[in-house]
Amino acid sequence: MKKSFVFLICSVFAVCSSSYAQTKKTGKVGAKPASGVSSPADIAQGKALIAKSDCFACHKPTEKLVGPAYSDVAKKYPATPANVTMLAKKVIKGGSGVWGEIPMAPHPSVTQADAEKIVRYILATK
């Protein structure tokens, strides 16, 4: 009986600790882990947004063109909420130096929400 009670207390502690760690990491109660950052709908919308943008002028899904292949970006950046936000800002503001000397042009007309959908699609191309 005593061993069962100790086991129960340890199990509850482990579950609560895991939940607390995730809440502390994301700042959200009940937040999904990073692997749940992209829904199939977000990925499909991101793919559609890329298809009607100028992204393919510099990027290809699996081959380097002017910029890196989407699959290489996905390998470099895990699909975490922080990476989605950071990369979406790079889509909007442009960037340089990470993948070589050729800078990425800014896309100021893309909203943060649309840029995040684009990034979610890219990070799903691993």
Same domain for 18 and 39, yes or no, is: no
Same domain for 3 and 41, yes or no, is: no
pLDDT(34) > 90: no
Task: Calculate mean pLDDT across residues 4-29.
Answer: 39
Domain range for residue 15?
1-31
pLDDT(79) > 90: yes
Looking at the 3D structure of the chain, how many domains does it have?
2
Query: Virtual CA dihedral for 89, 93, 99, 103, nearest 10 degrees?
Result: 170
88-100 pLDDT per residue, tens: 999 999 999 999 9
Per-residue pLDDT at 36:
54
Same domain for 63 and 113, yes or no, is: yes
Per-residue pLDDT at 14:
38
DSSP states along 48-109 = HHHHTSSGGGTB-SSSBSSS--HHHHHHHS---HHHHHHHHHHHHH-B-SSSSSSPBPP-TT
Task: Calculate mean pLDDT across residues 102-124.
Answer: 96
Average pLDDT in the chain: 79
